[in-house]
Amino acid sequence: MSIFRDPDAPRTFPLALTLDRRRFLAGSGALAATAAMGDLALAQTGGRIVVADPGGPFGPAFKAAFHDSFKADTGITSVQIAREHEPTAQVATMVKTKNYTWDVVTLTLSARDILHKQGMLEPLDWSLPDMNEIMPEARHPAWMGTDVYCTILAYRSDKFASGGPQSWRDYFDTAKFPGRRSMRRSPIDTLEIALLADGVEPAKLYPLDVDRAFKKLDTIKKNIAVWWTGGAQTTQLLQSGEVDMVPTWNARAQTVTDAGGPVKISWNQGLYSIEGWGIAKGNPKAAIAKRFVAYTANAKRQAAFTKGLAYGPTNPNAYKFIDKETAAKLPTAPDIFPKIILAKEEWWAANRQKAEERFTAWMLS
């Protein structure tokens, strides 16, 4: 859940504590053999860390994939809590006050960049087990991506007997694909979608040509039946059949499909972003927190979260443990990933306010 999009994209640093892979996985006894005294004491006294994630479907999916086995393998409890929609200010407050409510927290690319620029994130230890397998787009000195989410085109297959829209160009083609449309009430993703529909090549998408985007949006504005403001709303719109097509996050549409609804996804030119773990600078439990981050890099564990969460793992080796039916739902699957485009959070960081002001004025015009 970025400050720009709601999912509900980058190395090695020395750390005194290093782990042997087999010992780390063996259990709490092996952990004691390799841990520094402070960490050993924490484990032996039933220590714990607090890990904040976006909540919702992330809760049970991450619990089954990471938290339950982390306790069994290390003797340390990782307590799950749901964080605020945008935790940047809270992380900054923790660093400034030295009062750490969380030990690990999920951050989007935009939140990561803001906090890292201000020196508020701990460097990770990229020598720890499994982290070298993480996809390049999900690597950063102070952050490790765990899941990839994507803005896609979802449509009601029962409304299109000859096949539904397969591209953003199709979405804008109201003559060839008539039907009720919905679009996000935000310039985020919406400007990119308009430009892609207007024929801009993905490699030339950024910096966004804002004038061209709004000119294209002018051509479809009157055809938008619902301007949505939340991901759950798009699920309801598709499930009820109130709209026939909508740009939304892939897991939101997948929820309807999994429930038996006649909804299909077009991945063509989807816009993806990444969410991952960060640790507030100065956290006294940083060493243990970094081990938790490394623990979640493991391919089998990342594969496990896809059973309950339709977002893509960032360890490509996870697909060795994911069945084909599940892989067909995930943005980073080998057959899907080449079709989608990394959304440039840095462009939005520099231009968000002006874009939103213009979008608001455009909606009222």
For the stretch 62-98, pLDDT in tens is: 999 999 999 999 999 999 999 877 799 999 999 999 9
- Give the contacts of 6 (CB within 8 A, at least 6 positions apart): 85, 230, 231, 249
**pLDDT of 21:** 35
3-state SS of the chain is: CCCCCCCCCCCCCCCCCCCCHHHHHHCHHHHHHHCCHHHHHHHHCCCEEEEEECCCCHHHHHHHHHHHHHHHHHCCEEEEEECCCCCHHHHHHHHHHCCCCCCEEEEEHHHHHHHHHCCCECCCCCCCCCHHHCCHHHEECCEEEEEEEEEEEEEEHHHCCCCCCCCHHHHHCCCCCCCCEEEECCCCCHHHHHHHHCCCCHHHCCCCCHHHHHHHHHCCHHHEEEEECCHHHHHHHHHHCCCCEEEEEHHHHHHHHHCCCCEEEEEEEEEEEEEEEECECCCCCHHHHHHHHHHCCCHHHHHHHCCCCCCEECCHHHHHHCCHHHHCCCCCCCCCHHHCEECCHHHHHHHHHHHHHHHHHHHHC
Residue written as token pair 């479907």: 57
**pLDDT of 162:** 85
| CB 3, CB 111: distance < 8 Å | yes
**pLDDT of 32:** 34
Q: CB neighbours (10 Å) of residue 141?
A: 15
**pLDDT of 43:** 45
3-state SS of 288-330 is: HHHHHHHHCCCHHHHHHHCCCCCCEECCHHHHHHCCHHHHCCC
Per-residue pLDDT of the chain (365 residues; tens, 9 = 90+): 343 344 443 332 233 333 333 333 334 333 333 333 444 444 443 489 999 998 888 899 999 999 999 999 999 999 999 987 779 999 999 999 999 999 999 999 989 999 999 999 999 999 999 999 999 999 999 999 999 999 999 999 999 988 999 999 999 999 999 999 999 999 999 999 999 999 999 999 999 999 999 999 999 999 999 999 988 899 999 999 999 999 999 999 999 999 999 999 999 999 999 999 999 999 999 999 999 999 999 999 999 999 999 999 999 999 999 999 999 999 999 999 999 999 998 899 889 899 999 999 999 99
Q: What are phi and psi of 105, to 5 degrees?
A: -145, 145
pLDDT tens-digit map of 120-168: 999 999 999 999 999 999 999 999 999 999 999 999 999 998 899 999 9
**pLDDT of 41:** 43
**Phi-psi label, residue 346: left if phi above 0, alpha if psi -120 to 50, beta otherwise:** alpha
The CATH number of 149-272+339-364 is 3.40.190.10
In the chain, what are the domain boundaries?
21-148+274-338, 149-272+339-364
Question: In CATH, what class is 21-148+274-338?
Answer: alpha beta
- Give the contacts of 222 (CB within 8 A, at least 6 positions apart): none
